[in-house]
Chain A
Amino acid sequence: MTEDEWTAVRLSLLVATTATAASLPLGVAVAWLLARGRFWGKSLLDTLVHLPLIMPPVVTGYLLLLTFGRRTPVGAFLADELGIVFSFRWTGAALACAVMGFPLLVRAVRLSIEAVDSRLESAAGTLGANPPWVFATITLPLSLPGVIAGAILCFAKAMGEFGATITFVSNIPGETQTLPSLIYTLTQVPGGDAGALRLTLISIAISMLALLGSELLARRIGARQVTT
Protein backbone atom coordinates (compact mmCIF):
# COMPACT_ATOMS: atom_id res chain seq x y z
CA MET A 1 0.00 0.00 0.00
CA THR A 2 1.17 3.49 -0.76
CA GLU A 3 1.45 6.32 1.73
CA ASP A 4 -1.53 8.06 0.09
CA GLU A 5 -3.67 5.00 0.53
CA TRP A 6 -2.82 4.69 4.24
CA THR A 7 -3.55 8.38 4.71
CA ALA A 8 -6.94 7.97 3.07
CA VAL A 9 -7.83 4.98 5.27
CA ARG A 10 -6.77 6.80 8.45
CA LEU A 11 -8.66 9.92 7.39
CA SER A 12 -11.79 7.94 6.61
CA LEU A 13 -11.74 6.26 10.02
CA LEU A 14 -11.26 9.66 11.72
CA VAL A 15 -14.05 11.27 9.69
CA ALA A 16 -16.49 8.39 10.23
CA THR A 17 -15.80 8.16 13.97
CA THR A 18 -16.15 11.91 14.42
CA ALA A 19 -19.34 11.99 12.35
CA THR A 20 -20.89 9.14 14.35
CA ALA A 21 -19.88 10.54 17.73
CA ALA A 22 -21.19 13.98 16.81
CA SER A 23 -24.56 12.84 15.48
CA LEU A 24 -25.24 10.24 18.18
CA PRO A 25 -26.46 12.53 21.03
CA LEU A 26 -28.50 14.72 18.70
CA GLY A 27 -29.81 11.68 16.85
CA VAL A 28 -31.00 10.00 20.07
CA ALA A 29 -32.66 13.24 21.17
CA VAL A 30 -34.46 13.68 17.84
CA ALA A 31 -35.44 10.00 17.79
CA TRP A 32 -36.94 10.36 21.27
CA LEU A 33 -38.85 13.46 20.20
CA LEU A 34 -40.23 11.65 17.17
CA ALA A 35 -41.06 8.49 19.13
CA ARG A 36 -42.59 9.98 22.27
CA GLY A 37 -43.16 13.67 21.66
CA ARG A 38 -46.46 15.24 20.76
CA PHE A 39 -45.88 18.70 19.38
CA TRP A 40 -46.72 20.95 16.50
CA GLY A 41 -44.46 20.45 13.48
CA LYS A 42 -43.53 16.86 14.29
CA SER A 43 -44.06 15.65 10.74
CA LEU A 44 -42.05 18.63 9.48
CA LEU A 45 -39.13 17.58 11.70
CA ASP A 46 -39.56 14.01 10.50
CA THR A 47 -39.35 15.12 6.87
CA LEU A 48 -36.37 17.35 7.53
CA VAL A 49 -34.45 14.51 9.18
CA HIS A 50 -35.15 12.23 6.26
CA LEU A 51 -34.25 14.73 3.53
CA PRO A 52 -30.58 13.65 3.18
CA LEU A 53 -31.78 10.09 2.63
CA ILE A 54 -33.98 10.93 -0.33
CA MET A 55 -32.14 13.88 -1.92
CA PRO A 56 -29.23 13.25 -4.30
CA PRO A 57 -26.03 13.39 -2.18
CA VAL A 58 -24.64 16.05 -4.50
CA VAL A 59 -27.58 18.28 -3.63
CA THR A 60 -26.98 17.78 0.09
CA GLY A 61 -23.30 18.59 -0.43
CA TYR A 62 -24.12 21.72 -2.40
CA LEU A 63 -26.59 22.87 0.26
CA LEU A 64 -23.87 22.39 2.88
CA LEU A 65 -21.54 24.46 0.74
CA LEU A 66 -24.15 27.20 0.47
CA THR A 67 -24.73 27.15 4.23
CA PHE A 68 -21.30 26.54 5.76
CA GLY A 69 -18.99 27.89 3.06
CA ARG A 70 -16.28 30.29 4.29
CA ARG A 71 -18.02 33.35 2.81
CA THR A 72 -21.56 32.58 3.95
CA PRO A 73 -22.91 34.24 7.12
CA VAL A 74 -23.05 30.97 9.04
CA GLY A 75 -19.60 29.88 7.89
CA ALA A 76 -18.09 33.26 8.69
CA PHE A 77 -19.70 33.34 12.14
CA LEU A 78 -18.46 29.84 13.02
CA ALA A 79 -14.96 30.65 11.81
CA ASP A 80 -14.65 34.09 13.43
CA GLU A 81 -16.45 33.46 16.72
CA LEU A 82 -15.84 29.79 17.42
CA GLY A 83 -12.83 29.04 15.27
CA ILE A 84 -14.59 26.18 13.50
CA VAL A 85 -13.95 25.97 9.76
CA PHE A 86 -15.74 23.36 7.67
CA SER A 87 -15.00 24.25 4.08
CA PHE A 88 -12.20 22.18 2.50
CA ARG A 89 -11.21 20.69 5.85
CA TRP A 90 -11.59 17.17 7.22
CA THR A 91 -14.13 18.61 9.71
CA GLY A 92 -16.29 19.48 6.72
CA ALA A 93 -16.06 15.90 5.50
CA ALA A 94 -17.16 14.77 8.98
CA LEU A 95 -20.09 17.20 8.86
CA ALA A 96 -21.17 15.93 5.45
CA CYS A 97 -20.95 12.33 6.66
CA ALA A 98 -22.84 13.14 9.86
CA VAL A 99 -25.67 14.76 7.90
CA MET A 100 -25.85 11.83 5.49
CA GLY A 101 -25.79 9.22 8.26
CA PHE A 102 -28.24 11.08 10.53
CA PRO A 103 -31.50 9.72 9.04
CA LEU A 104 -30.26 6.13 9.30
CA LEU A 105 -29.28 6.69 12.93
CA VAL A 106 -32.56 8.37 13.84
CA ARG A 107 -34.65 5.68 12.15
CA ALA A 108 -33.00 2.83 14.00
CA VAL A 109 -33.09 4.57 17.39
CA ARG A 110 -36.65 5.76 16.94
CA LEU A 111 -37.90 2.26 16.16
CA SER A 112 -36.25 0.82 19.24
CA ILE A 113 -37.55 3.62 21.50
CA GLU A 114 -41.05 3.03 20.15
CA ALA A 115 -40.65 -0.64 21.02
CA VAL A 116 -39.99 0.21 24.70
CA ASP A 117 -43.16 -0.40 26.70
CA SER A 118 -44.32 3.08 27.73
CA ARG A 119 -46.12 1.52 30.70
CA LEU A 120 -42.69 0.84 32.18
CA GLU A 121 -41.92 4.53 31.81
CA SER A 122 -45.07 5.57 33.65
CA ALA A 123 -44.29 2.99 36.36
CA ALA A 124 -40.89 4.66 36.80
CA GLY A 125 -42.71 7.99 37.05
CA THR A 126 -44.88 6.76 39.93
CA LEU A 127 -41.67 5.74 41.71
CA GLY A 128 -40.51 9.35 41.69
CA ALA A 129 -38.36 9.52 38.54
CA ASN A 130 -38.77 12.74 36.53
CA PRO A 131 -38.84 12.49 32.72
CA PRO A 132 -35.06 12.90 32.13
CA TRP A 133 -34.36 10.19 34.72
CA VAL A 134 -36.98 7.92 33.22
CA PHE A 135 -35.24 8.34 29.88
CA ALA A 136 -31.76 7.70 31.29
CA THR A 137 -32.65 4.71 33.47
CA ILE A 138 -35.48 3.00 31.57
CA THR A 139 -35.91 4.14 27.97
CA LEU A 140 -32.25 4.39 26.97
CA PRO A 141 -31.05 1.09 28.49
CA LEU A 142 -34.00 -0.78 27.00
CA SER A 143 -33.44 0.70 23.54
CA LEU A 144 -29.65 0.30 23.62
CA PRO A 145 -29.49 -2.46 20.96
CA GLY A 146 -31.24 -0.07 18.56
CA VAL A 147 -28.91 2.78 19.49
CA ILE A 148 -25.89 0.60 18.73
CA ALA A 149 -27.38 -0.57 15.45
CA GLY A 150 -28.08 3.06 14.52
CA ALA A 151 -24.54 4.12 15.37
CA ILE A 152 -23.06 1.32 13.25
CA LEU A 153 -25.31 2.22 10.33
CA CYS A 154 -24.22 5.84 10.66
CA PHE A 155 -20.56 4.80 10.83
CA ALA A 156 -20.87 2.57 7.76
CA LYS A 157 -22.64 5.29 5.84
CA ALA A 158 -19.89 7.75 6.82
CA MET A 159 -17.17 5.33 5.66
CA GLY A 160 -18.81 5.12 2.25
CA GLU A 161 -20.03 8.66 1.82
CA PHE A 162 -18.85 10.16 -1.46
CA GLY A 163 -21.24 12.52 -3.23
CA ALA A 164 -21.93 15.05 -0.50
CA THR A 165 -18.33 15.00 0.74
CA ILE A 166 -16.67 15.63 -2.61
CA THR A 167 -19.21 18.38 -3.42
CA PHE A 168 -18.82 20.14 -0.08
CA VAL A 169 -15.09 19.80 0.68
CA SER A 170 -13.62 18.56 -2.61
CA ASN A 171 -10.94 15.86 -2.88
CA ILE A 172 -7.75 17.16 -1.27
CA PRO A 173 -5.16 14.48 -0.45
CA GLY A 174 -4.37 14.38 3.27
CA GLU A 175 -7.22 16.73 4.18
CA THR A 176 -10.50 15.66 2.60
CA GLN A 177 -9.51 12.72 0.43
CA THR A 178 -11.41 9.88 2.13
CA LEU A 179 -11.33 6.26 1.06
CA PRO A 180 -14.15 6.50 -1.53
CA SER A 181 -12.70 9.71 -2.96
CA LEU A 182 -9.31 8.06 -3.42
CA ILE A 183 -10.87 4.99 -5.03
CA TYR A 184 -12.66 7.33 -7.42
CA THR A 185 -9.41 9.21 -8.14
CA LEU A 186 -7.50 5.96 -8.74
CA THR A 187 -10.08 4.70 -11.20
CA GLN A 188 -9.63 7.93 -13.18
CA VAL A 189 -5.84 7.55 -13.68
CA PRO A 190 -3.98 4.94 -15.77
CA GLY A 191 -2.50 2.16 -13.65
CA GLY A 192 -4.61 2.92 -10.63
CA ASP A 193 -6.62 -0.27 -10.77
CA ALA A 194 -4.47 -2.23 -8.34
CA GLY A 195 -4.71 0.54 -5.73
CA ALA A 196 -8.45 0.86 -6.23
CA LEU A 197 -8.83 -2.87 -5.72
CA ARG A 198 -6.73 -2.84 -2.53
CA LEU A 199 -8.79 -0.02 -1.09
CA THR A 200 -12.01 -1.74 -2.10
CA LEU A 201 -10.98 -4.82 -0.15
CA ILE A 202 -10.04 -2.70 2.87
CA SER A 203 -13.36 -0.90 2.66
CA ILE A 204 -15.25 -4.20 2.61
CA ALA A 205 -13.22 -5.49 5.56
CA ILE A 206 -13.92 -2.40 7.68
CA SER A 207 -17.64 -2.59 6.93
CA MET A 208 -17.80 -6.24 7.83
CA LEU A 209 -15.85 -5.74 11.06
CA ALA A 210 -18.19 -2.94 12.10
CA LEU A 211 -21.24 -5.07 11.39
CA LEU A 212 -19.78 -8.04 13.24
CA GLY A 213 -18.87 -5.87 16.22
CA SER A 214 -22.37 -4.45 16.44
CA GLU A 215 -23.92 -7.92 16.23
CA LEU A 216 -21.76 -9.15 19.11
CA LEU A 217 -22.48 -6.07 21.21
CA ALA A 218 -26.21 -6.26 20.57
CA ARG A 219 -26.26 -9.94 21.43
CA ARG A 220 -24.47 -9.35 24.72
CA ILE A 221 -26.92 -6.62 25.68
CA GLY A 222 -29.85 -8.69 24.44
CA ALA A 223 -28.76 -11.57 26.64
CA ARG A 224 -28.64 -9.32 29.67
CA GLN A 225 -32.13 -7.96 29.21
CA VAL A 226 -34.91 -10.16 28.00
CA THR A 227 -38.08 -8.15 27.78
CA THR A 228 -40.99 -9.79 29.52
Chain B
Amino acid sequence: MSLEIDIDHAREHFQLTARFSSAPGLTALFGRSGSGKSTLIDIIGGLIRPTRGRVAIDGQVLVDTERGIFVPKHRRRIGYVFQDSRLFPHLSVRHNLLYGRWFVRESAGPSSDLASVVELLGIGSLLDRRPDSLSGGERQRVAIGRALFAHPRLLLMDEPLASLDEARRVEILPYVERLRDEAGVPIVYVSHSVAEVARLATTVVILTDGKVTAVGPVLDILPMADAGDAGGVLDATVARHDEAFQLTVLASAAGELQVPRLAAPVGSPVRTYIRARDVMISLRPPEEISALNVLPGRITAIVPSSNGAQADVRLDCNGTALMARLTAKSVQRLALAPGRPVFAVIKSVSFERS
Protein backbone atom coordinates (compact mmCIF):
# COMPACT_ATOMS: atom_id res chain seq x y z
CA MET B 1 0.00 0.00 0.00
CA SER B 2 1.23 3.41 -0.78
CA LEU B 3 -0.61 6.58 0.05
CA GLU B 4 0.37 9.72 -1.80
CA ILE B 5 -0.75 13.08 -0.54
CA ASP B 6 -0.15 16.44 -2.12
CA ILE B 7 -2.78 18.92 -1.05
CA ASP B 8 -3.44 22.51 -0.08
CA HIS B 9 -6.52 23.29 1.89
CA ALA B 10 -7.53 26.80 2.86
CA ARG B 11 -10.02 27.57 5.54
CA GLU B 12 -10.68 30.74 7.42
CA HIS B 13 -7.49 31.67 9.31
CA PHE B 14 -5.99 28.32 8.51
CA GLN B 15 -3.90 26.92 5.71
CA LEU B 16 -2.99 23.25 5.44
CA THR B 17 -0.23 22.16 3.10
CA ALA B 18 0.80 18.54 3.05
CA ARG B 19 2.96 16.55 0.69
CA PHE B 20 4.21 13.09 1.57
CA SER B 21 3.82 9.45 0.72
CA SER B 22 3.57 6.76 3.31
CA ALA B 23 4.93 3.25 3.64
CA PRO B 24 3.04 0.13 4.77
CA GLY B 25 2.36 -0.34 8.46
CA LEU B 26 1.06 2.35 10.74
CA THR B 27 1.60 5.95 9.73
CA ALA B 28 1.11 8.39 12.58
CA LEU B 29 0.01 11.95 11.88
CA PHE B 30 1.46 13.69 14.86
CA GLY B 31 1.03 17.26 16.02
CA ARG B 32 -0.58 19.52 18.55
CA SER B 33 -4.28 20.25 18.43
CA GLY B 34 -4.96 22.73 15.66
CA SER B 35 -1.99 21.54 13.61
CA GLY B 36 -4.32 20.26 10.87
CA LYS B 37 -4.00 16.52 11.40
CA SER B 38 -7.75 15.91 11.70
CA THR B 39 -8.41 17.99 8.60
CA LEU B 40 -5.82 15.96 6.73
CA ILE B 41 -7.35 12.63 7.75
CA ASP B 42 -10.81 13.92 6.78
CA ILE B 43 -9.41 14.78 3.35
CA ILE B 44 -8.03 11.24 2.98
CA GLY B 45 -11.37 9.77 4.07
CA GLY B 46 -13.38 11.96 1.69
CA LEU B 47 -15.23 13.93 4.37
CA ILE B 48 -13.55 17.15 3.24
CA ARG B 49 -12.79 18.25 -0.28
CA PRO B 50 -9.39 19.96 -0.43
CA THR B 51 -9.08 23.31 -2.20
CA ARG B 52 -6.28 21.99 -4.37
CA GLY B 53 -4.29 18.84 -4.77
CA ARG B 54 -4.15 15.14 -5.24
CA VAL B 55 -4.69 12.05 -3.09
CA ALA B 56 -3.94 8.57 -4.38
CA ILE B 57 -3.82 5.06 -2.95
CA ASP B 58 -1.76 2.42 -4.77
CA GLY B 59 -1.85 4.63 -7.85
CA GLN B 60 -5.65 4.98 -7.84
CA VAL B 61 -6.50 8.66 -7.77
CA LEU B 62 -9.11 9.56 -5.15
CA VAL B 63 -8.83 13.32 -5.45
CA ASP B 64 -7.35 15.38 -8.23
CA THR B 65 -8.68 18.90 -8.27
CA GLU B 66 -7.00 19.73 -11.57
CA ARG B 67 -8.67 16.86 -13.37
CA GLY B 68 -11.90 17.34 -11.41
CA ILE B 69 -11.74 13.94 -9.74
CA PHE B 70 -13.37 13.44 -6.36
CA VAL B 71 -14.26 9.90 -5.37
CA PRO B 72 -17.07 10.08 -2.76
CA LYS B 73 -16.37 8.52 0.62
CA HIS B 74 -18.66 5.54 0.13
CA ARG B 75 -16.65 4.43 -2.89
CA ARG B 76 -13.18 4.82 -1.37
CA ARG B 77 -13.09 1.68 0.76
CA ILE B 78 -11.30 3.58 3.48
CA GLY B 79 -12.33 2.60 7.00
CA TYR B 80 -12.61 5.38 9.54
CA VAL B 81 -12.51 5.00 13.32
CA PHE B 82 -13.69 8.25 14.84
CA GLN B 83 -12.65 9.75 18.14
CA ASP B 84 -16.25 9.55 19.33
CA SER B 85 -16.84 6.03 17.89
CA ARG B 86 -20.14 7.02 16.20
CA LEU B 87 -21.82 3.65 16.64
CA PHE B 88 -25.37 3.55 15.29
CA PRO B 89 -27.61 3.82 18.36
CA HIS B 90 -30.57 2.00 16.81
CA LEU B 91 -28.58 -1.11 15.91
CA SER B 92 -27.14 -3.84 18.11
CA VAL B 93 -23.37 -4.33 18.28
CA ARG B 94 -23.70 -7.24 15.85
CA HIS B 95 -25.57 -5.15 13.29
CA ASN B 96 -23.17 -2.26 13.77
CA LEU B 97 -20.32 -4.63 12.98
CA LEU B 98 -22.04 -6.06 9.92
CA TYR B 99 -23.25 -2.71 8.56
CA GLY B 100 -20.38 -2.25 6.12
CA ARG B 101 -20.65 -5.79 4.85
CA TRP B 102 -23.82 -4.98 2.89
CA PHE B 103 -21.78 -2.77 0.62
CA VAL B 104 -18.68 -4.90 0.09
CA ARG B 105 -18.50 -6.05 -3.50
CA GLU B 106 -17.49 -9.63 -4.17
CA SER B 107 -14.65 -8.37 -6.34
CA ALA B 108 -13.10 -6.81 -3.27
CA GLY B 109 -11.94 -10.25 -2.25
CA PRO B 110 -12.91 -12.31 0.75
CA SER B 111 -13.90 -10.11 3.65
CA SER B 112 -12.67 -10.80 7.14
CA ASP B 113 -14.92 -13.31 8.84
CA LEU B 114 -16.87 -12.33 11.91
CA ALA B 115 -15.31 -14.83 14.28
CA SER B 116 -11.72 -13.78 13.69
CA VAL B 117 -12.37 -10.04 13.96
CA VAL B 118 -14.51 -10.54 17.06
CA GLU B 119 -11.71 -12.63 18.56
CA LEU B 120 -9.03 -10.12 17.57
CA LEU B 121 -10.88 -7.33 19.34
CA GLY B 122 -12.26 -9.35 22.24
CA ILE B 123 -15.87 -8.26 21.70
CA GLY B 124 -17.57 -11.67 21.59
CA SER B 125 -19.66 -11.06 24.70
CA LEU B 126 -20.96 -7.72 23.41
CA LEU B 127 -22.63 -8.82 20.18
CA ASP B 128 -26.23 -8.62 21.38
CA ARG B 129 -25.80 -5.44 23.41
CA ARG B 130 -26.84 -1.94 22.37
CA PRO B 131 -24.14 0.73 21.90
CA ASP B 132 -25.46 2.89 24.75
CA SER B 133 -24.80 0.08 27.23
CA LEU B 134 -21.09 -0.18 26.34
CA SER B 135 -18.15 1.44 28.09
CA GLY B 136 -15.98 3.90 26.17
CA GLY B 137 -13.28 1.29 25.59
CA GLU B 138 -15.75 -1.31 24.38
CA ARG B 139 -17.33 1.21 22.05
CA GLN B 140 -14.01 2.01 20.43
CA ARG B 141 -13.22 -1.67 19.92
CA VAL B 142 -16.61 -2.19 18.26
CA ALA B 143 -15.97 0.88 16.09
CA ILE B 144 -12.64 -0.61 15.00
CA GLY B 145 -14.36 -3.92 14.21
CA ARG B 146 -17.09 -2.16 12.25
CA ALA B 147 -14.52 -0.36 10.13
CA LEU B 148 -12.62 -3.63 9.48
CA PHE B 149 -15.75 -5.43 8.30
CA ALA B 150 -16.24 -3.01 5.45
CA HIS B 151 -13.06 -4.59 4.08
CA PRO B 152 -11.06 -1.36 3.88
CA ARG B 153 -7.81 -1.08 2.01
CA LEU B 154 -6.76 1.61 4.45
CA LEU B 155 -7.88 2.29 8.00
CA LEU B 156 -8.02 5.83 9.37
CA MET B 157 -8.01 6.33 13.12
CA ASP B 158 -8.61 9.83 14.45
CA GLU B 159 -7.34 9.92 18.03
CA PRO B 160 -9.30 6.79 18.87
CA LEU B 161 -8.05 6.86 22.46
CA ALA B 162 -8.42 10.57 23.17
CA SER B 163 -11.82 10.30 24.81
CA LEU B 164 -10.76 7.43 27.08
CA ASP B 165 -9.13 7.44 30.49
CA GLU B 166 -5.70 5.93 31.08
CA ALA B 167 -6.98 2.48 32.04
CA ARG B 168 -9.12 2.22 28.89
CA ARG B 169 -6.20 3.34 26.72
CA VAL B 170 -4.05 0.57 28.09
CA GLU B 171 -6.95 -1.76 27.29
CA ILE B 172 -7.16 -0.69 23.63
CA LEU B 173 -3.51 -0.21 22.67
CA PRO B 174 -2.69 -3.94 22.41
CA TYR B 175 -5.63 -4.36 20.00
CA VAL B 176 -4.31 -1.62 17.75
CA GLU B 177 -0.89 -3.31 17.82
CA ARG B 178 -2.45 -6.63 16.83
CA LEU B 179 -4.38 -4.88 14.09
CA ARG B 180 -1.16 -3.43 12.72
CA ASP B 181 0.73 -6.73 12.96
CA GLU B 182 -1.95 -9.33 12.21
CA ALA B 183 -4.78 -7.81 10.18
CA GLY B 184 -2.43 -6.52 7.51
CA VAL B 185 -4.46 -3.36 6.93
CA PRO B 186 -2.34 -0.22 6.61
CA ILE B 187 -3.35 2.39 9.17
CA VAL B 188 -3.17 6.15 9.29
CA TYR B 189 -3.33 7.14 12.93
CA VAL B 190 -3.86 10.67 14.21
CA SER B 191 -2.49 11.45 17.64
CA HIS B 192 -1.04 14.19 19.76
CA SER B 193 0.39 11.74 22.28
CA VAL B 194 4.10 10.99 21.92
CA ALA B 195 3.62 7.86 23.95
CA GLU B 196 0.98 6.43 21.57
CA VAL B 197 2.95 7.35 18.48
CA ALA B 198 6.17 5.90 19.92
CA ARG B 199 4.46 2.65 20.68
CA LEU B 200 2.38 2.18 17.55
CA ALA B 201 3.91 3.98 14.60
CA THR B 202 6.08 2.64 11.82
CA THR B 203 6.27 5.98 10.05
CA VAL B 204 5.68 9.40 11.54
CA VAL B 205 4.43 12.54 9.78
CA ILE B 206 4.83 15.59 11.96
CA LEU B 207 2.45 18.48 11.36
CA THR B 208 3.10 21.93 12.75
CA ASP B 209 0.68 24.79 12.10
CA GLY B 210 -0.72 23.19 8.97
CA LYS B 211 2.62 22.15 7.47
CA VAL B 212 4.45 18.87 7.31
CA THR B 213 7.73 19.48 9.13
CA ALA B 214 9.14 15.95 9.16
CA VAL B 215 8.41 12.52 7.66
CA GLY B 216 10.23 9.27 8.32
CA PRO B 217 10.66 6.13 10.43
CA VAL B 218 9.50 6.60 14.00
CA LEU B 219 12.91 5.92 15.58
CA ASP B 220 14.54 8.70 13.58
CA ILE B 221 11.76 11.25 13.65
CA LEU B 222 10.23 11.15 17.09
CA PRO B 223 13.30 12.36 19.03
CA MET B 224 13.22 15.47 16.82
CA ALA B 225 9.56 16.16 17.47
CA ASP B 226 8.92 19.48 19.06
CA ALA B 227 6.77 17.99 21.78
CA GLY B 228 6.38 19.08 25.35
CA ASP B 229 7.26 15.57 26.38
CA ALA B 230 10.33 15.06 24.19
CA GLY B 231 12.33 11.90 24.50
CA GLY B 232 13.69 8.86 22.75
CA VAL B 233 12.20 5.61 21.51
CA LEU B 234 13.83 2.33 22.38
CA ASP B 235 13.02 -1.01 20.75
CA ALA B 236 13.61 -3.98 23.02
CA THR B 237 12.51 -7.53 23.72
CA VAL B 238 11.44 -9.04 27.02
CA ALA B 239 14.51 -10.96 28.32
CA ARG B 240 13.10 -12.23 31.61
CA HIS B 241 10.83 -11.35 34.50
CA ASP B 242 12.09 -10.75 38.02
CA GLU B 243 9.09 -11.92 40.02
CA ALA B 244 10.62 -11.20 43.42
CA PHE B 245 10.86 -7.47 42.70
CA GLN B 246 8.02 -7.26 40.17
CA LEU B 247 10.39 -6.13 37.45
CA THR B 248 10.88 -7.03 33.82
CA VAL B 249 14.29 -7.06 32.21
CA LEU B 250 14.38 -5.78 28.64
CA ALA B 251 17.20 -6.46 26.22
CA SER B 252 17.96 -3.72 23.71
CA ALA B 253 20.83 -2.66 21.52
CA ALA B 254 21.59 0.07 24.03
CA GLY B 255 21.87 -2.40 26.91
CA GLU B 256 19.68 -4.08 29.51
CA LEU B 257 16.86 -2.15 31.11
CA GLN B 258 14.87 -2.96 34.20
CA VAL B 259 11.30 -1.69 34.12
CA PRO B 260 8.16 -2.32 36.19
CA ARG B 261 6.69 -5.79 35.56
CA LEU B 262 5.07 -6.07 32.12
CA ALA B 263 2.33 -8.47 31.15
CA ALA B 264 4.13 -9.40 27.91
CA PRO B 265 5.65 -12.91 27.65
CA VAL B 266 9.42 -13.49 27.40
CA GLY B 267 10.70 -12.87 23.89
CA SER B 268 7.94 -10.48 22.83
CA PRO B 269 8.96 -7.14 21.33
CA VAL B 270 8.35 -4.05 23.40
CA ARG B 271 8.79 -0.45 22.44
CA THR B 272 9.35 2.03 25.23
CA TYR B 273 9.43 5.75 25.23
CA ILE B 274 11.99 7.38 27.51
CA ARG B 275 11.18 10.96 28.33
CA ALA B 276 14.09 13.38 28.24
CA ARG B 277 13.19 14.71 31.69
CA ASP B 278 13.63 11.23 33.20
CA VAL B 279 17.24 10.83 32.00
CA MET B 280 20.27 11.92 34.02
CA ILE B 281 23.82 12.19 32.69
CA SER B 282 26.92 10.96 34.47
CA LEU B 283 30.50 11.20 33.27
CA ARG B 284 31.58 8.03 35.06
CA PRO B 285 29.63 4.83 35.72
CA PRO B 286 27.67 5.80 38.83
CA GLU B 287 28.09 3.65 41.95
CA GLU B 288 25.85 3.31 44.97
CA ILE B 289 22.94 4.94 43.17
CA SER B 290 19.31 3.87 43.38
CA ALA B 291 18.61 4.06 39.66
CA LEU B 292 18.79 0.59 38.12
CA ASN B 293 19.45 1.53 34.51
CA VAL B 294 22.76 2.88 33.31
CA LEU B 295 23.35 2.97 29.57
CA PRO B 296 26.71 3.97 28.08
CA GLY B 297 26.55 6.33 25.12
CA ARG B 298 27.99 9.30 23.36
CA ILE B 299 26.67 12.85 23.02
CA THR B 300 25.63 13.68 19.48
CA ALA B 301 24.23 17.17 19.96
CA ILE B 302 23.23 19.70 22.60
CA VAL B 303 20.16 21.78 21.80
CA PRO B 304 19.58 24.71 24.18
CA SER B 305 15.99 25.67 24.97
CA SER B 306 14.67 28.97 23.66
CA ASN B 307 15.29 30.84 26.93
CA GLY B 308 18.70 29.19 27.46
CA ALA B 309 17.90 27.81 30.92
CA GLN B 310 17.72 24.19 29.77
CA ALA B 311 19.23 22.03 27.10
CA ASP B 312 18.27 18.77 25.42
CA VAL B 313 21.33 16.54 25.23
CA ARG B 314 20.98 14.02 22.42
CA LEU B 315 22.70 10.71 22.98
CA ASP B 316 23.66 7.80 20.81
CA CYS B 317 23.57 4.64 22.92
CA ASN B 318 24.88 1.98 20.56
CA GLY B 319 22.63 3.14 17.73
CA THR B 320 19.61 4.08 19.84
CA ALA B 321 18.80 7.78 20.04
CA LEU B 322 18.00 8.95 23.55
CA MET B 323 17.62 12.42 24.97
CA ALA B 324 18.30 13.99 28.36
CA ARG B 325 16.87 17.30 29.44
CA LEU B 326 19.34 19.13 31.72
CA THR B 327 19.75 22.61 33.10
CA ALA B 328 22.24 24.84 31.32
CA LYS B 329 24.16 24.89 34.57
CA SER B 330 24.65 21.08 34.54
CA VAL B 331 25.78 21.18 30.94
CA GLN B 332 28.45 23.72 31.84
CA ARG B 333 29.49 22.05 35.11
CA LEU B 334 30.11 18.70 33.42
CA ALA B 335 31.58 20.42 30.34
CA LEU B 336 29.32 18.38 28.10
CA ALA B 337 30.05 18.61 24.40
CA PRO B 338 29.22 16.58 21.29
CA GLY B 339 31.35 13.47 20.97
CA ARG B 340 31.92 13.08 24.69
CA PRO B 341 31.23 9.56 26.10
CA VAL B 342 28.74 9.65 28.98
CA PHE B 343 26.35 7.40 30.90
CA ALA B 344 22.59 7.83 30.76
CA VAL B 345 20.91 7.07 34.09
CA ILE B 346 17.21 6.22 34.12
CA LYS B 347 15.09 5.34 37.16
CA SER B 348 13.04 2.20 36.63
CA VAL B 349 9.93 3.74 38.13
CA SER B 350 9.97 6.51 35.55
CA PHE B 351 9.10 4.02 32.80
CA GLU B 352 5.66 4.04 31.54
CA ARG B 353 5.11 1.39 28.98
CA SER B 354 4.24 3.87 26.32
Contacts and interface: CB of A to CB of B under 8 A. Distances in A.
Do they bind each other?
A: yes
Interface of A: 117, 119-120, 122-131, 133-134, 137-138, 141-142, 224-228
Interface centre among B47, B80, B90, B146 (most CB of A within 10 A): B90
B79 A126 contact: yes
B86 to A, nearest CB: 4
Interface of B: 45-47, 72-80, 82, 84, 86-90, 99-100, 102-104, 130-132, 146-147, 150
A130 B74 contact: yes
B132 A129 contact: no
Interface SS of chain A: helix, strand, loop or mixed? Answer: helix
Contact of B84 (A119, A142, A227): A119
B147 A127 contact: yes
13 contacts: A117-B86, A120-B86, A123-B80, A126-B47, A126-B150, A127-B74, A129-B74, A129-B99, A130-B72, A138-B88, A142-B89, A225-B90, A227-B132
A126 B73 contact: yes
Given A119-B84, A123-B80, A129-B103, A228 B132 contact: yes
Contacts of A142: 89-90
Contacts of B103: 127-130, 133
A134 B100 CA distance: 11
Nearest to B134: A228
B150 A228 contact: no
Interface centre among B75, B77, B88 (most CB of A within 10 A): B88
B77 A228 contact: no
B44 to A, nearest CB: 11
A115 to B, nearest CB: 12
Nearest to A123: B86
A224 B103 CA distance: 25
Contacts of B90: 141-142, 224-225
A128 B105 CA distance: 10
B89 A122 contact: no
B73 A120 contact: no
